Structure 1
Amino acid sequence: MKKYIDTNAYYLSNFFEHNELRYESFWLFYNREDKIQMENFFPDQKVYSFLWEYADEDILVKIDEWKRAFRRNDIEILQEAKLHTRNYLSGDRKVYLDCLETNPITADKKFKNLTAYDTGQRFVQIVADENISFADIDLSFLELTDIADKFRAVVGILDTEGFRALILNGYHHRGELLKVCIMKSYEACSKITETLPLNIFENTYVAMPFSG
Structure 2
Amino acid sequence: MKKYRDTHHYYLSNFFKHSELNYDSLWLFYNYEDGIQMETFFPDQKVYSFLWEYADTDILIKIDEWKRAFRRNAIEIVQEAKLHIRNYLSQERKVYLDCLETSLVTADGKFKDLTAYDIGQRFVQIVADENISFTDIDLSFLEVTDTADKFRALIRILDTDGIQALILNGYHHRGELLKVCIVKKGETGLKTKEVLSLPIFENTYVAMPFNW
TM-score with structure 1 length normalisation? Answer: 0.93
Is the Cα contact below 8 Å between 1:82 and 1:100 reproduced in 2? yes
TM-fit CA distance, 1:116: 3.8
Is the Cα contact below 8 Å between 2:120 and 2:205 reproduced in 1? no
Distance 2:22 2:116 in 1: 26
Distance 1:177 1:49 in 2: 17
Distance 1:23 1:92 in 2: 33
Is the Cα contact below 8 Å between 1:91 and 1:144 reproduced in 2? no
Is the Cα contact below 8 Å between 1:165 and 1:183 reproduced in 2? yes
Distance 2:207 2:61 in 1: 25
Structure 2 counterpart of 1:130: 130
Distance 1:207 1:92 in 2: 21
Distance 1:116 1:209 in 2: 14
Aligned residues with identical type, % of pairs: 76
Structure 2 counterpart of 1:188: 189
- Secondary structure (helix, strand or coil) at the match of 2:117 reads coil
Is the Cα contact below 8 Å between 2:13 and 2:21 reproduced in 1? yes
Q: How does 1:18-167 map to 2 (within 5 A)?
A: 18-55=18-55, 62-63=61-62, 65-118=65-118, 120-167=120-167
CA distance 1:120–1:77, change in 2 (3 Å) = farther
Distance 1:130 1:96 in 2: 26
Is the Cα contact below 8 Å between 2:84 and 2:99 reproduced in 1? yes
CA distance 1:128–1:188, change in 2 (3 Å) = same
- Secondary structure (helix, strand or coil) at the match of 1:117 reads helix
Note the alpha carbon deviations across 1:109-160, whole angstroms, 9 max, x for none: 0011224424551000000000000001111111112111111111111111
Q: Which runs of 5+ in 1 are unaligned?
A: none
CA distance 1:120–1:198, change in 2 (3 Å) = closer
Aligned length: 210
- Secondary structure (helix, strand or coil) at the match of 1:188 reads helix
Is the Cα contact below 8 Å between 2:5 and 2:195 reproduced in 1? yes
Note the alpha carbon deviations across 1:70-122, whole angstroms, 9 max, x for none: 00000000000000111123453322110000011001000112244245510
Is the Cα contact below 8 Å between 1:51 and 1:124 reproduced in 2? yes
